[in-house]
Amino acid sequence: MPKPKGQKNTKNKAKHTKLLNRKINKKKAEEALRKEKLKAIIKKSKES
């Protein structure tokens, strides 16, 4: 059964967006951490 005219499902959309942003930010943070670790390893290998 459809919703009455004008009624929007904004609560679930906001929740979903929040969860997706959390997931995206976590992935970006992990990538940045991996890059930093690789840079440190490369720098250490070049020094020795």
What does pTM read for this prediction?
A: 0.64
Mean pLDDT of the chain: 91
Residue 5 pLDDT more than 90?
no
Give dist(CA 45, CA 3) in Å, integer: 63
Residue 48 pLDDT more than 90?
no
Give dist(CA 34, CA 40) in Å, integer: 10
- Residue for token digits 């890059």? 35
Give dist(CA 38, CA 48) in Å, integer: 16
Backbone torsions φ then ψ of 38, nearest 5 degrees? -65, -40
